[in-house]
Amino acid sequence: MTTYKSTQPTAHKKLVIKLGGSMLASLTDTFFDEIKKLKAAGAEIVIVHGGGPAINQALKERKINTYTHNGIRVTNEDAISIVTGTLIGTVNPYLTGRLNRAGIPAVGLNGEDGTLIECTYLDQDTYGYVGHIESINIDLLEQLQKIDYIPVVACIGATIDGTALNINGDTVASEIALEWGADELLLVTDTPGVKFHEETVEELTPEQIDLWILSGDIYGGMIPKVRAAVECLESGIPQVNIVNDSLEGTSILGKKVLV
């Protein structure tokens, strides 16, 4: 079975790579080799990461219960300090450190750094401390590209008065890709692409996505991922792919426009 493989970057291709929390703990050297190849070929890269499993573990240790609504973690006052502590204090330095030690210059950021992700509350009554992105400091991301640093962005935004808010990692990656005008968005997860009956599919249409969600062949955390992918394509990102840490997987196709 052939699968999508992201290996043909052109000079100055702008890539946003989102690393899912599901695969961060088992991130192999293969991923860092792939990043080196992309950089050597001239790609400009922004990395965004999640950290769902690490957050779940930290909340469990403190006996704080949370639940999700529409794939979004309802984040109360107790939970937000654990979410920010885990993403900014543990996951972000772990990933940034591994990149630097692999010889890939990287700098860790969250929404407050350089006013990177300014947000308002998504819907405080329903979701608590969850952010809706209002603006992204693209200039900061571009300045870092000029000095050859990869920005490594934790999915935490900040309100205008400095309150940290939790944002889904796929959402942050999609918004950065759209604002920056990225050529490609790679959603890296713990499975090589989207599977149908155990086989990775090379290309996936929006029609198949709808059908497979209904049939249960796409479920759980893959649902917001494929939906975000289609939305990005519709908003103008030329390529969106769901891949594993070898950057192999499934290319998501946009909706066909009938003329």
Ligand X SMILES: CC(=O)N[C@@H](CCC(=O)OP(=O)(O)O)C(=O)O
Query: Contact residues for ligand X (CB under 6 A)?
Result: 20-22, 50-52, 55, 72-73, 83, 130, 155, 166-169
Selection from ligand X, ligand ADP, none that 205 binds (CB < 5 to 8 A by kind) is none
Residues 6+ apart with CB under 8 A from 124: none
In the residue annotation, 5 being an active-site residue is answered as no
Name which of residues 130 to 159 contact ligand ADP (CB under 6 A): none
Question: How are beta strands 44-49 and 14-19 bridged, if at all?
Answer: parallel
Among 170, 193, 245, 249, the active-site one is: 170
Q: How many helices (H) and strands (E) does the chain have?
A: 10, 17
In the residue annotation, 161 being an active-site residue is answered as no
**Segment lying near ligand ADP (by CB under 6 A), choices 18-26, 41-49, 90-98, 103-111:** 18-26
Q: Alpha-carbon distance 96 to 106, whole Å? A: 6
In the block, which residue shows the tokens 């969250």? 110
In the residue annotation, 225 being an active-site residue is answered as yes
DSSP letter at 244 equals -
Selection from ligand X, ligand ADP, none that 23 binds (CB < 5 to 8 A by kind) is ligand ADP
Q: Alpha-carbon distance 181 to 11, whole Å? A: 15
Among 14, 18, 50, 245, the active-site one is: 18
Burial of 163 (0-12, 13-18, 19+ CB in 10 A): middle
Which residue from 100, 145, 159, 191 is in contact with ligand ADP, where contact means CB under 6 A?
Answer: 191
Say if residues 150 and 99 touch (Cβ distance below 8 Å): yes
Among 183, 225, 249, 254, the active-site one is: 225
Selection from ligand ADP, ligand X, none that 83 binds (CB < 5 to 8 A by kind) is ligand X
Residue number of the CB atom closest to ligand X: 50
Say if residues 158 and 112 touch (Cβ distance below 8 Å): yes
**Residue 52 or 108: which CB sits closer to ligand X?**
52
In the residue annotation, 125 being an active-site residue is answered as no
Which residues participate in the annotated binding site for substrate?
Answer: 51-52, 73, 166
As annotated, the active-site residues are: 18, 21, 52, 170, 225
